[in-house]
Structure 1
Amino acid sequence: MKNVVQVIFAIGMVFLFAIEGNAQRKGSGFGIKAGMNYNTSGKYFKDAGSIWNDPGASIGYQVGTFYKLASYDIFLRPELLYTHSKFESGLGQVKYDRLDAPIMAGFHMFKVLSIVGGPSFHYSLNEEFPEVLEIESGKKIDFGYQFGLGLNVGPVGLDLRYERVFNDQKLTLDRVLKREDSFKSEQVVLALSFQF
């Protein structure tokens, strides 16, 4: 719980400094975003059959807000998002809901294209796994990274990003034989944003 408070405090401080010191800068401001994500467990060959049979089973969504702090062609963009993700594993569908807080640093190229990357913090709200799995739980906070491209026309933006978490989620596949496996959540995110 102490880590959650520290992450929320750090994000809050970034927002306060951004608002206070740079409210008049061109390109800075609050915005909203929403989009869809395509998820996998990172076990591409194992998941390929499930994805081939029903590609829609791995599509989730995200909604949230951001603040973009811009200075010339470089910017910092902390975001706070609600994310619902799901993917098909060989043993059934995995679903999870979480709060995501990516902090993207980026730069603009050719006035409409941007390249971004940075850390992403995740707080798990809910996880649903197939009944045949035993999950090593108790870990609510996770860290990862994102990188991608953005297309910006005026206040409207379209982002395409890749995201991956650093830590494996450990699974026990068979309660009798205690065969263990793990996966790393990965997703490709396509989102539309509007900056005020």
Structure 2
Amino acid sequence: MYKFTIAFITLLLSSSGYSQATISVGIKAGVNFASATGDASDSNSQIGYDEGRTGFHVGVISELSISNKFSLQTELLYSQVGANYSYDNRPADGAKVDSDLNLDYITLPILAKYYVYKGLSLLAGPQLGYIVNSEIENEILTSGFLVPETLRNETIDIKDDINNFDFGFAIGSSYELNNGLFIQARYVLGLSEIPKNEEQTISTDLKNEVFQVSLGYKF
């Protein structure tokens, strides 16, 4: 996947007038609407990823303008993703668990940018991520025959169960005003599995998925 990223950048630069390139920088921040895709069940119960995690992203951007129509936009972001899932096995062991899977990454999107009309542009390209925080927050409801319901909360650090690196593909659009303000909308599909291997704390075959809305400013 890293070879693909390098080849992607090389092809983009070599296909245009690189000697005419100019660079601009800026900042951006926004909202993440994240979820997890993949198989979310095991042999003992049904685990449903029924809701996503709403988080944020914030960071800096750099745009390398290659021509009037094409540029290369790279970003360095702190980004919160994850999912919410439930485990209801009260008939067997008397427990219902609502869990929040919280994953925070430092991400590096490397995007080809094509200006469709004036400030309106389309973006697409790979995204690399490095995990900096990973935990599960559980809300556990237990009950049983002649036993009152009890509710407790716990937080589990799952850094040993999570792959350090994440790889995905991003596609989106951006609109920039003449004063440097811009708004972006983007969808990022994870291509790497979140867990390292089969663990009890997290289901296997899960990948990140996030829709982002951003506001920013280019200096």
The answer to whether TM tops 0.5 is: yes
Q: CA deviation at 1:180?
A: 5.2
1:84-95 matches, within 5 Å, as 84-90=80-86, 91-95=98-102
State the match for 2:124 in structure 1.
117
State the match for 1:166 in structure 2.
191
RMSD between aligned alpha carbons? 3.2
TM-score w.r.t. the length of structure 1 is 0.72
For the residues of structure 1 that align with 2:106 and 2:132, how far apart are their CA atoms? 7
* Contact 2:134/2:162 (<8 A) preserved: no
Larger strand percent: 2
1:167 is paired with a residue of what secondary structure? Answer: coil
State the match for 2:170 in structure 1.
146
Unmatched tracts of structure 1, length 5 or more: 12-20, 52-56
For the residues of structure 1 that align with 2:203 and 2:82, how far apart are their CA atoms? 21
Q: CA deviation at 1:80?
A: 0.5
Aligned match of 2:31 in 32, 36, 42?
A: 36
Structure 2 residue 56 is matched with structure 1 residue 73: no
Aligned match of 1:182 in 199, 205, 210?
A: 205
For the residues of structure 1 that align with 2:167 and 2:183, how far apart are their CA atoms? 24
2:204 is paired with a residue of what secondary structure? Answer: strand
State the match for 2:59 in structure 1.
64
Number of matched residues? 167
- Percent identity between the two aligned chains: 24
Read off the aligned partner of 1:87 and give its amino acid letter: A
Q: CA deviation at 1:137?
A: 2.5
Moved more, 137-146 or 97-106: 137-146
CA deviations on 1:163-185 (whole Å, 9 max, x unpaired) are 1221122375758xxx9533111
State the match for 2:150 in structure 1.
none
For the residues of structure 2 that align with 1:66 and 1:134, how far apart are their CA atoms? 30
State the match for 1:106 in structure 2.
113
Larger helix percent: 1
Read off the aligned partner of 2:185 and give its amino acid letter: L
Structure 2 residue 214 is matched with structure 1 residue 191: yes
For the residues of structure 2 that align with 1:141 and 1:44, how far apart are their CA atoms? 20
